[in-house]
Amino acid sequence: MKVNVSRRDWLKGAAATASYLAVEALPAHATELAAPPAIRGGDPPNGTILPLNCTSGVILPPPGRSFQKFSFDFPEPSVVFNKLLIGFRLYTFENTYGLDRALMKVTPQGDGLLLECSGFVYAGGQLKAPGKLRSHIRPNGDFTEWDVTAEMDQPIKSVTTIVRGVPRGKIAPGSSGFFDPKENEILLGYPWGNGGQSTDTPLAVIEAGKQDYFFLSSLNEEVRANRMYFEPAENNLYRTELVYQNPGWKHSNRVEGARWRAGRTTTADAAFRPHFEHVQRAFHLPDWNTRTDVPDWFRKIELFVSIHGMDWTGYVFNDFAKALRTLEWVSKHIDASKVMVFLPAWNGRYYWEYSVYKVDERMGGDEGFRRLITEGHRMGFRFLPMFGLQASNTHLAVYPQFANSSTRQIDGNSFYIAWVDWDNDRHMEGWGRFMNIAVDSWRYWLQNCIAYMIETFGVDGYFLDIAGGWVDNTQGDMLVGLRKMVESLRAKYPNVIPVGEFSYDGLMSVIPLYQIFPSWGYPPAFEKYCRAFNHLSHPAPGRGSTGVHEGGFRHFNPKTFSLNPHQIPTITVVDDTFEKYRNVMLEIINRAKARAAGKA
């Protein structure tokens, strides 16, 4: 996969670097240093240190949507390597630190460079602090890779690599597909956005032109918080920040950042594929066709029917008796053993009852629920009730039993679930807490609730809401906690399938089935390992009710009938679906059967 960069392309980058030097004076404390070699008309040698700052070459004021930033110049001395400019920042829990240009040393190491710095600056370069940073920058085939370690006399929160020379163009966050950011700054967050756009893996591919793709990726060996920030710069380039965050539960004076990789290719596949080959190795992702956590019965499923129960307000879309009547009709049109029934809000008020998983009396109680499952099983259906992996209502009487599991983010602040206006007073409610499955009290509580439903009613799977919501925190690794719970349940109930709402790369080794297909830009990143059906907020036939406050009403497209090549067809059933839109339900059923038979 050899990619040659033309002299013309290099000169574009050289001109951009020259523009940085043209506007940048050496800081006062570094005036005794030799000026960097002139680069107009030639390549600056690898290892050249350019005395840049955070505004060097950046378009100011920002031309589009922007994020918060310093309102002064902050030193960012950067090293030239293979047409990129690479610098570093360090973050503690109380300040931001840059490299002290006077204490930087670059030496050859193999076919790469070793950058060492024996001290930091802060307050825009006005003050100094002790510490060490080391980075080995080297080629790997046609790509450039580097790692970074740093130490200070206080806990380090994160370390950022600043990369210049990144071309602008359409961006694909992770495997999700390309979009045009126009003049906007872009922030990508892995595994969860935290103020930016969430991405399923720490990768960004840029379509810089025809047969010209540039990528940046973090080669994590474990799930760790990464962020990628793209800031428009001169000469159609980006100034980028690549953030690696220390796990909050370690609180260490040392950071060993992930290995980063940058490269340029002639095809999108050549940009995506190396990253996902690493992901497969690092997280031991099992191939879908051979993974052992998928029951044989599920491999026959051709259709999902999502039957909404109770809304947050207490409004009932479908009680258990109505759900059973719906399924009796469905069974006349498709082999029920090929259908899985998803049951949101079977336990009462949607979200309000999160952490109390008892069958709701108004919808039919234990007797009605047992009849639904028993009669449904007799017909051949499989059942998937919904649980909140990461959420609990703090007003419920049971909450004190696991309150110590409420997530505290890396800075120690509580994490509230405050992003939905449940009561429509045009204000987001804050009674929900984001729970940490890594903490024993919550994990045991939720695991016991799921086990009770499996043993008492014989359900065939358990759906975990917000499954992809990994958060760096002070208590423990959420992926490790989730794996413990899933493996414990699988040991007792090997024929029961775990299901997640949305995924990230490492999570795919734990859960094989999701509601969201994330990989529209590079389908093998997901489909090689997992399967997906449609989200519970997928609009129902007719008015397009989603059955949930977050969605309200959305357009139901009668031409697609919930059919695409990457998701198992799904029928959303709300209050009027069965009575008014059986003709549409039947069309979806018929197309699902045709799809399974390879005829659609």
Q: How far is CA 491 from CA 451, 486, 487, 577, 596, in A?
A: 12, 9, 6, 38, 31
The mean pLDDT of 23-49, rounded to a whole number, is: 49
Q: How far is CA 107 from the centre of its chain?
A: 37
Of the residues 283, 311, 335, which one is the last residue of a structural domain? 283
CB 473 within 8 A of CB 248: yes
Q: How far is CA 566 from CA 370, 393, 514, in A?
A: 33, 34, 12
Residues 158 and 409: their CA atoms lie apart, in Å, by 14
Q: Which of 514, 510, 436, 507 is nearest to 478 (CA)?
A: 436
Query: Are residues 73 and 153 both part of a single domain?
Result: yes
Tokens of 594: 């045709």
Q: For residue 600, what pLDDT is reported?
A: 62
Query: 420: pLDDT confidence band, cut at 50, 70 and 90?
Result: very high
CB 526 within 8 A of CB 519: yes
Query: Are residues 382 and 318 both part of a single domain?
Result: yes
Query: Are residues 277 and 316 both part of a single domain?
Result: no
Partner residues linked to 190 by β-bridges:
226
CB 588 within 8 A of CB 534: no
For residue 27, pLDDT over 90 is answered with: no
Coarse DSSP helix, strand, coil percentages of the chain, rounded to the nearest 5 percent:
25, 30, 45
pLDDT in tens, 120-140: 999 999 999 999 999 999 999
Q: For residue 29, what pLDDT is reported?
A: 31
Q: How far is CA 446 from CA 244, 442, 496, in A?
A: 31, 6, 16
Partner residues linked to 150 by β-bridges:
133, 255
Q: Is residue 416 part of a domain?
A: no
Query: Cis before residue 155, ω within 30 degrees of 0?
Result: no
Tokens of 9: 């392309």
Q: Which of 449, 434, 435 is nearest to 489 (CA)?
A: 449
Q: Which of 398, 481, 397 is nearest to 436 (CA)?
A: 481
Query: Are residues 319 and 276 both part of a single domain?
Result: no
3-state secondary structure 535-560: CCCCCCCCCCECCCCCCCECCCCCCC
Phi, psi of 365 (to 5 degrees): 65, -170
Query: Are residues 320 and 242 both part of a single domain?
Result: no
The mean pLDDT of 215-227, rounded to a whole number, is: 97
CB 59 within 8 A of CB 232: yes
Residues 554 and 543: their CA atoms lie apart, in Å, by 8
Q: Is residue 432 part of a domain?
A: no
Residues 440 and 362: their CA atoms lie apart, in Å, by 32
pLDDT in tens, 554-572: 999 877 777 789 999 999 9
For residue 500, pLDDT over 80 is answered with: yes
Residues 6+ apart with CB under 8 A from 197: 173, 186, 187, 188, 189
pLDDT in tens, 320-369: 999 999 999 999 999 999 999 999 999 999 999 999 999 999 999 999 99
pLDDT in tens, 525-559: 999 999 999 999 999 999 999 999 888 999 998 77
Query: Are residues 180 and 110 both part of a single domain?
Result: yes
DSSP code of 48?
A: P
Q: For residue 21, what pLDDT is reported?
A: 39
Q: For residue 44, what pLDDT is reported?
A: 87
Q: How many separate domains does the chain show? A: 2
Residues 339 and 533: their CA atoms lie apart, in Å, by 12
Q: Is residue 274 part of a domain?
A: yes
Query: Are residues 330 and 380 both part of a single domain?
Result: yes
pLDDT in tens, 1-16: 333 333 233 333 333 4
Q: Which of 343, 346, 351, 360 is nearest to 390 (CA)?
A: 351
The mean pLDDT of 428-438, rounded to a whole number, is: 96
The mean pLDDT of 230-238, rounded to a whole number, is: 97
**Look-up of token digits 């069965």:** 578
Q: Is residue 431 part of a domain?
A: no
Q: Is residue 21 part of a domain?
A: yes
Q: For residue 348, what pLDDT is reported?
A: 97
For residue 485, pLDDT over 80 is answered with: yes
Query: Are residues 124 and 208 both part of a single domain?
Result: yes
Tokens of 235: 């000469």
For residue 195, pLDDT over 90 is answered with: no
DSSP code of 12?
A: H
Q: Is residue 417 part of a domain?
A: no
Domain CATH code at residue 592 = 3.20.20.80
Query: Are residues 127 and 239 both part of a single domain?
Result: yes
What torsion do the CA atoms of 90, 95, 99, 103 make, to the nearest 10 degrees?
Answer: -120
Domain CATH code at residue 219 = 2.60.40
CB 160 within 8 A of CB 241: yes
DSSP code of 200?
A: S
Q: For residue 133, what pLDDT is reported?
A: 98
Tokens of 179: 């979009």
Residues 16 and 304: their CA atoms lie apart, in Å, by 53
Q: Quick one: 441 exposed, middle or buried, by C-beta within 10 A (0-12, 13-18, 19+)?
A: middle
The mean pLDDT of 100-107, rounded to a whole number, is: 98
pLDDT in tens, 144-167: 999 999 999 999 999 999 999 999
Residues 339 and 334: their CA atoms lie apart, in Å, by 8
For residue 506, pLDDT over 70 is answered with: yes
Query: 196: pLDDT confidence band, cut at 50, 70 and 90?
Result: confident
For residue 31, pLDDT over 80 is answered with: no
In which domain, by residue range, is 197 found?
7-283
Q: How far is CA 557 from CA 197, 399, 539, 570, in A?
A: 26, 41, 9, 13
For residue 37, pLDDT over 70 is answered with: no
The rounded percent of the chain whose pLDDT value lies above 90 is: 89
* pTM for this prediction: 0.91
pLDDT in tens, 177-186: 999 999 999 9
Q: Which of 98, 99, 114 is nearest to 147 (CA)?
A: 114
Average pLDDT score, the chain: 92
Q: Which residue type sits at 271? A: A
Query: Are residues 63 and 203 both part of a single domain?
Result: yes
Residues 6+ apart with CB under 8 A from 218: 190, 202, 203, 226, 242, 244, 258, 259, 260, 261
Tokens of 144: 């450039």
Of the residues 283, 315, 331, which one is the last residue of a structural domain? 283
Query: Are residues 145 and 85 both part of a single domain?
Result: yes
The number of beta carbons lying within 10 Å of the beta carbon of residue 454 is 18
Q: Is residue 429 part of a domain?
A: no
Q: Is residue 182 part of a domain?
A: yes
The mean pLDDT of 387-405, rounded to a whole number, is: 98
Question: Integer distance in angstroms from the first to the last C-alpha of the chain?
Answer: 36
Of the residues 283, 307, 332, which one is the last residue of a structural domain? 283
Tokens of 446: 């939720």
Residues 203 and 172: their CA atoms lie apart, in Å, by 8
Q: For residue 20, what pLDDT is reported?
A: 39
Query: Are residues 44 and 186 both part of a single domain?
Result: yes
CB 480 within 8 A of CB 438: yes
Tokens of 565: 């090549």
